[in-house]
Structure 1
Amino acid sequence: MKNLITILILFCCLISFSFQDPDSLAQKPTSENIGKLLAKAENSINTMEFDKAQEELNTSLQLARSIDHKRFIALASSILARMYQVRHEFDKGITQLERAIAIQRDINDKEGLAYSYILYGKILYSKQEYQRALKYLDLAQEYYKKESNKEQLGIIDLNKAIVYLALGELERANALLDNADVYLENSKNTYEISRLHYYRSRAFIAEGDYKKALEAAKGALNIAQSGQFIGMRMYSYELLSQIEESRGNPKDALAYLKEANQIRQNVFSMNKEALAKDSYEKFGMDALKSTVDELTLQNAEQERTLKVNKLTTILSVALITILSLLTLSLYKNNNLRARANELLQKKNSELVLAKENAEKASLAKAQFLSTITHELRTPLYAVTGLTHLLLEESPTESQKEHLNSLKFSGEYLLSLINNILDLNKLEANKVEIVESKFNLEQRISDVMIALKNSADEKKTKIHFDFDQSIPKNLIGDPLKISQILINLIGNSIKFTENGDIWISVKKTRHEGKDISLAFEIKDNGEGIGKEKQKAIFENFTQGSTQINRKFGGTGLGLSIVKNLLSLLGSEIELESELGKGSRFFFELKFTAPEGEIAEEKPATPKIDESKLTNDIMENKRILVVEDNKINQMITRKILEKNKVICDVADNGSIAVEKVKNNDFDLILMDIHMPGISGIEATIQIRKFDSEIPIIALTAVTLDESLDEFYLNGFNDIIPKPYKTEEFFHKINKHLAARATTV
């Protein structure tokens, strides 16, 4: 019997040797190969494949010693300590770490020391030595701050947060979790991101917010499953079981607990196999040697032949048994795979249906928002117009206060409607880039004029620095650039009182027709905290609840900016510090004709718009083309208050006849009217009068093309509802231009 056992051991050893990986035998002792082996070992630890990790660490240690690479020798000890930490063999882990740290200090390996310090902090936390754990994490943090290593700084903040959670300092733990979230935003270290979600869930549990805790725990589980992190999967299932039990869902809690226990059993089985393999590797060669020695002492050929025959019979039976089990296993696996494929097809069909329903719902939402926001403009025009008229009629002080409040509310509602409509168009992918030739410096100046009153109310100065080497004529989308600047400058004005705003446009590259410009909007206003800087570009988001109450707003402006810049192939960047102001910057590409640097002479005389007053409107004849009676009355009264001789046409056909038979100085033309539209009426008027200024008085949305208006004979556009300052400014500008040409 003893001889049979020794033969079996010899046979197994030979089989094991014959099936060794040829790549591992031919492994060369180079720094690259050792580094790859150590990285594989770390990954094996994450997936709890300890036997595989041990083999990779042994091989890497042998290779490192063969070339006396002390840094990798120390690193192998650190990674081995990490395996002991995961297996809760803390004293063994500390022994390995102290060995690694001694070498790393001797060779001044600061990076290796920082890695070891983080691991030392983890082990001390596991031993509930929290203050010592924080000291080692601080040592590691000093090094990675000097190196500006965001990923490692995020891992350190995560581990500090775990310590403070254990100490019951929830507020401090949450702050560190927020920092870790920022630092690990672009990290590919999915294991640490899974841990971040897991401990975020633990923090929510401590706060009693089980809904957020459930969401964070599921996030940890999803990442752990995709990365095959067995330990994190087990811990996530246990945490989900705890959450569901606290929420009063015992059935779900039991299901999650079963999943956790199944993983625990698998890990236990895997560890048993690892121990068996360790024992075999330790004593296998000794057994082999003793077996050979014993076999050489056998002299009876007949007895040896008999034993070999018996062994052959046993191995044959074992081989047949193994093949039978393998066939059965393959059959079961095929059945399971077929069921899984069937279930997957069913789920795919459900997902396709859900996707189609979601797209229909999104389309219905977009159509609803587009319709309702347009319909709101007509009554809102009446509100803002009538408020302006009442303010002009010498109200009492108490009435004036109420009317100013009404005016502010109307303007706020208009801004909200415009922002919702613009965002709706962007999200529905209905916005297209419309390129045309324009003067960028003049476009920015127009934006500043439009926002001047808002800045004056805040006692804020706007400074404009425009690089004069930029060509005067550029080809791009002027409407979207205006909207980006209006939102960014308007945002700075809102949060800057008694301060300054600096607008800068610089040329960064100019090759042939291609030119790149850097835009910067900087202020010394309220500023934004680091933890909120990522969120403010999301829909309906502001810096904080206090800021929302103090300054108002919907939180849509910066979201629109982000989406518009994405459409133009750029992205918004932000630098800010709470209480010290903010700096928004981005870069855009334009096309400019080669060599076109000097400004082209304008086709019409230059008007000094800053000196325009309403006096120019006195005794001027203006035709208002509008089918809505309330809008007719409001526009007419606003004009007549400034001594304008006003006439009204109910539709486009009447407007064409009146222009043929009367002399007008300017026409305000609505677009959507019964009969012929405002565009068709303008085309007919231009056939016999090409000089009279025609201004479109209509609701213009972000996705509508302004080129259509200008190409069909309009001189300008006033979106309604409008601010009276903008209304008068555009009318006065065109009346003044007409006066210079007559």
Structure 2
Amino acid sequence: MGKYLLLALHFFLCTQVIHAQFGGSSTEKVLTIFQEFNQYRHENKFDKALETLNEAANIAENNEDEKLLVDTYHQYARIYLEEGDYDAAIFYWDRAGKFLKYNSYSYGQAFHLYLDAALRYTEGNNFQSLKLLEESRKLSNNRNLTNNILLLEAYIFTNIEKYDDAVKNLHALIVNSDDQERAYLATKANLQLSRISVTLNDLEEGVIHSKAALEVAQKHGYAKEIKEAYQQLSNIYEQTGDFSQALTYRKELEQIKDSVFNVQKAMIESKSADKIKFEHQTNELNKLQIKNEELSESKNRSEITAILTSAFLTIISLLAVSLFRNNQIKLKTNDLLYTKNKELELARDAAVSAMEAKTNFLSTVTHELRTPLYAVTGLTHLLLEENPSEHQKEHLKSLKFSGEYLLNFINDILQINKIDADKLEPLKIEFKLHKVLTDVVESLQQNANENKTKLLLDYDPNIPKTLLGDPIKLSQIFMNLVGNALKFTKNGKVEVIAKMLNQEDDQVKLYFEVRDNGIGISEEQQKHIFDSFEQGSIQINREYGGTGLGLTIVKSLLGLFGSTIHLESELDHGSSFYFEMDLKCDSKAVDEVAFELNNEDFEFKGLHVLVVEDNKINQVITKKMLTKKEITCDIANNGNEAIDMAKANTYDAILMDIHMPGISGEEATRQIRKFNQDIPIIALTAISLDDSLDSFYAAGCNDVVTKPFKPEVFYQKIGENIFKNRVQGSV
């Protein structure tokens, strides 16, 4: 613990404070002492460094200068921390803190926080240390202190694997302009950059920085840094397989370690450190003993009060130590929590990535399935219209049913995928609710007839004619609810109910319900009925089929409107799905003349359209479907051809594929709209996850038909967009 701290703590003094406190020769004396201390520490002359600090402490005590004493205690704390004597470091740091309580000394406070950060770093509390360094930086802008903070931050960033931040700090230190420790800081920075390079497996860069550190250290006599540079170079060359160079630096290192000078030096330094430490602690004990003797000789009340005060302060000190230890535990706990939170964030990011991968996969699969499915459904329709034999007709109808079933399944998956990916947003357009519900009922009437079930619409006439909302998603909700009710109801009744609860100005609250008297849902099944791919039981799935996504889609779509689906059901007695919805209305809206056209009103013969499609099979199928209605067509293989042909020819409509090589159908539509605003353009597309109907309309499309489509829908859209425009134009 604190492996690199011994390299990170460098001497720093505020000369302005010294000048302010002493005058004349006293000032020069103090400056000389600290300059000597600075040099001895850099040269790793521990005994000499302690002697200079002892001299500075004596001057501070003789002059009763508490600020100078704080500076000296701080240096004692740091030098003992470098030597691994944590208890001694805490002792002097705490002594300095006591003086700072009663002195306004911004530099002292800044340096005290810096030392506190160093202590936290030694204990492994990296993030608490960073916070303390930031507070220290705010209290002083001294260049040398700032450089020391940068170096300690670099060690911390290395520990927490923020290598880019560490390298940024260290490069700044290599070119520093510090007037006290320029070379020393550059040496430290190069050594740490070498360690980071080795960690990142950039051994060549590690050699460069180690040699740079060694060169400066040898020039200035930085003994400890010379040893570290030798050690680092030896290790790097061993990893690269250059054992000759590794052995050379290893010998240099061993020669330094085994020298008689170093053995004697270590013994002298140890004795000097113990001696100075012993003298300081003896002085403190002597002071306390003298104080106790004075108090014992005094019998007046004020001295008794002083004794009690001293005892009280002792108790407070013990409590402070206890609180300090508790704070250490708390800080370690906070670091542990931070680590766990990081792990949770990584797990969350992994889950999000997995969800995105699943979403993209499903989107790609569903989109790609639509192209071959268009061929299956289109060719089946064409074959059914070519008077096949009875036994062929049965097979073709089965094929058509399977294709439509697969199409519904793909549509449901794409819808759920869009909801999960937050790709759906409700529209806000004018629509007529009665028409939406009527269309749903009419489209599902055939299903009801097959099950011999009555399908009824109970519509409240008080509901405003024109509402503002999303009729497409509302239609999807009722298609799923009504289709689900019909699936599980035979020889029964399904009711679609729409009631107005209240109206205030332009806001209306509506109540909707889809009620049936089918097989019902048990209480156990109701708990999971709105989950994806959930149909209550395997038996139900095998008997009735379906994807189990319909109710999930309903729940999600209603969530877009801020509404919630509710269910009441009893086994064998039917089910009721109901919800409320707030919509805006226009009570002053005047009913427009409706231009409703039926299929029999369309006279397709003689129409000439442009089909824009890059897939050859789709071209053939679309052309044959048009030919069935005696509609002629030209084929454009891409968007650029479509633009050129639309300029050169006259068409009754354009059937535009959206996804094509080159420019897309959207862009082609925009270009055509620049010179032809009137021609109906119908988008024919296999909608993917990223497609938006709004963008199609914004590009200039009049309508959208999703592939694969039902032939009757295909013809209906063509007729509506061509003949409705003609009828409206004539009116």
Query: Is 1:694–2:681 an aligned residue pair?
Result: yes
The alignment partner of 1:565 has SS state of helix
Q: CA deviation at 1:342?
A: 4.9
Matches within 5 A, 1:546-695: 546-593=539-586, 595-602=587-594, 606-609=595-598, 612-613=599-600, 616-695=603-682
Q: CA deviation at 1:687?
A: 4.2
Q: CA deviation at 1:333?
A: 7.7
Query: Is 1:403–2:396 an aligned residue pair?
Result: yes
For residues 332 and 626 of structure 1, do their structure 2 counterparts lie closer, same or farther at Cα, with a shift above 3 Å needed?
same
Query: Is 1:471–2:460 an aligned residue pair?
Result: no
Q: CA deviation at 1:697?
A: 1.0
TM-score (normalised: structure 2): 0.52
CA distance, structure 1, for counterparts of residue 422 and residue 670 of structure 2: 31
Contact 1:469 1:597 in 2 (8 A): no
Contact 2:367 2:688 in 1 (8 A): no
User: Over residues 278-320 of structure 1, what are the superposed CA-to-partner deviations in whole Å (9 max), with x where a residue is unaligned?
Assistant: xxxxxxxxxxxxxxxxxxxxxxxxxxxxxxxxxxxxxxxxxxx
Matches within 5 A, 1:237-252: none
The partner residue of 2:529 within 536, 560, 575 is: 536
Q: CA RMSD in A?
A: 3.1
The partner residue of 1:413 within 397, 400, 406 is: 406
CA distance, structure 2, for counterparts of residue 478 and residue 585 of structure 1: 18
User: Over residues 575-594 of structure 1, what are the superposed CA-to-partner deviations in whole Å (9 max), with x where a residue is unaligned?
Assistant: 1122222111111111123x
User: Over residues 475-523 of structure 1, what are the superposed CA-to-partner deviations in whole Å (9 max), with x where a residue is unaligned?
Assistant: 2222321221221122112222333221121111211121111111112
Moved more, 621-630 or 549-558: 621-630
TM-score (normalised: structure 1): 0.52
Contact 1:537 1:559 in 2 (8 A): yes
* Count of aligned pairs between the two proteins: 415
CA distance, structure 2, for counterparts of residue 597 and residue 451 of structure 1: 30
Moved more, 638-647 or 446-455: 446-455
CA distance, structure 2, for counterparts of residue 526 and residue 496 of structure 1: 7
Q: CA deviation at 1:636?
A: 0.8
Contact 2:492 2:516 in 1 (8 A): yes
For residues 364 and 561 of structure 1, do their structure 2 counterparts lie closer, same or farther at Cα, with a shift above 3 Å needed?
same
For residues 653 and 346 of structure 1, do their structure 2 counterparts lie closer, same or farther at Cα, with a shift above 3 Å needed?
closer
The partner residue of 1:480 within 456, 473, 489 is: 473
- Counterpart in 1 of 2:715? 728
The alignment partner of 2:603 has SS state of helix
Q: CA deviation at 1:599?
A: 2.0
1:442 partner letter: K
Q: Unpaired runs of 5+ in structure 2?
A: 1-315
**Identity over aligned pairs, percent:** 54
CA distance, structure 2, for counterparts of residue 393 and residue 552 of structure 1: 30
1:713 partner letter: G
Q: CA deviation at 1:566?
A: 1.5
Contact 1:623 1:649 in 2 (8 A): yes
- Counterpart in 1 of 2:378? 385
The alignment partner of 1:537 has SS state of coil
Contact 1:471 1:599 in 2 (8 A): no
CA distance, structure 1, for counterparts of residue 670 and residue 325 of structure 2: 78
Contact 2:682 2:704 in 1 (8 A): yes
- Counterpart in 2 of 1:523? 516
CA distance, structure 1, for counterparts of residue 479 and residue 649 of structure 2: 39
Contact 1:622 1:665 in 2 (8 A): yes
CA distance, structure 2, for counterparts of residue 622 and residue 424 of structure 1: 34
Q: CA deviation at 1:326?
A: 12
- Counterpart in 1 of 2:215? none
The alignment partner of 2:592 has SS state of coil
CA distance, structure 2, for counterparts of residue 614 and residue 409 of structure 1: 31
- Counterpart in 1 of 2:453? 460
Contact 1:422 1:701 in 2 (8 A): no
CA distance, structure 1, for counterparts of residue 479 and residue 723 of structure 2: 26
- Counterpart in 2 of 1:365? 358
Q: CA deviation at 1:733?
A: 2.9
Contact 1:473 1:596 in 2 (8 A): no
CA distance, structure 2, for counterparts of residue 329 and residue 676 of structure 1: 74
CA distance, structure 2, for counterparts of residue 477 and residue 703 of structure 1: 19
Contact 1:462 1:500 in 2 (8 A): yes
Q: CA deviation at 1:613?
A: 3.2
User: Over residues 622-667 of structure 1, what are the superposed CA-to-partner deviations in whole Å (9 max), with x where a residue is unaligned?
Assistant: 3211111111101111221232223222223333333344443332
CA distance, structure 2, for counterparts of residue 731 and residue 449 of structure 1: 20
Contact 1:501 1:524 in 2 (8 A): yes
2:591 partner letter: E
For residues 660 and 698 of structure 1, do their structure 2 counterparts lie closer, same or farther at Cα, with a shift above 3 Å needed?
same
Contact 2:639 2:665 in 1 (8 A): yes
- Counterpart in 2 of 1:82? none
- Counterpart in 2 of 1:507? 500
Q: CA deviation at 1:469?
A: 2.2
1:444 partner letter: L
1:520 partner letter: E
CA distance, structure 1, for counterparts of residue 320 and residue 637 of structure 2: 88
Q: CA deviation at 1:554?
A: 1.2
Contact 2:433 2:466 in 1 (8 A): yes
CA distance, structure 1, for counterparts of residue 562 and residue 349 of structure 2: 29
For residues 340 and 685 of structure 1, do their structure 2 counterparts lie closer, same or farther at Cα, with a shift above 3 Å needed?
closer
- Counterpart in 1 of 2:286? none
2:496 partner letter: I
Contact 1:524 1:580 in 2 (8 A): yes
- Counterpart in 1 of 2:696? 709
CA distance, structure 2, for counterparts of residue 336 and residue 713 of structure 1: 67
CA distance, structure 1, for counterparts of residue 689 and residue 324 of structure 2: 61
User: Over residues 196-224 of structure 1, what are the superposed CA-to-partner deviations in whole Å (9 max), with x where a residue is unaligned?
Assistant: xxxxxxxxxxxxxxxxxxxxxxxxxxxxx
Q: CA deviation at 1:557?
A: 0.9
Matches within 5 A, 1:184-333: none
2:568 partner letter: E
The alignment partner of 2:369 has SS state of helix
Q: Which has the larger radius of gyration?
A: 2
The alignment partner of 1:527 has SS state of coil
Query: Is 1:348–2:341 an aligned residue pair?
Result: yes
Q: CA deviation at 1:533?
A: 1.3
Query: Is 1:375–2:368 an aligned residue pair?
Result: yes
- Counterpart in 1 of 2:186? none
Contact 1:614 1:728 in 2 (8 A): no
- Counterpart in 2 of 1:57? none
The alignment partner of 1:583 has SS state of strand
Q: Unpaired runs of 5+ in structure 1?
A: 1-322
1:695 partner letter: I
Q: CA deviation at 1:598?
A: 3.8
CA distance, structure 1, for counterparts of residue 688 and residue 554 of structure 2: 16
User: Over residues 27-53 of structure 1, what are the superposed CA-to-partner deviations in whole Å (9 max), with x where a residue is unaligned?
Assistant: xxxxxxxxxxxxxxxxxxxxxxxxxxx
Superposition misfits of 4+ residues, deviation over 6 angstroms: 325-336
Contact 2:658 2:664 in 1 (8 A): yes
CA distance, structure 1, for counterparts of residue 359 and residue 428 of structure 2: 25
Q: CA deviation at 1:334?
A: 7.3
Q: CA deviation at 1:546?
A: 1.6
The alignment partner of 1:381 has SS state of helix
For residues 505 and 419 of structure 1, do their structure 2 counterparts lie closer, same or farther at Cα, with a shift above 3 Å needed?
same
- Counterpart in 1 of 2:161? none
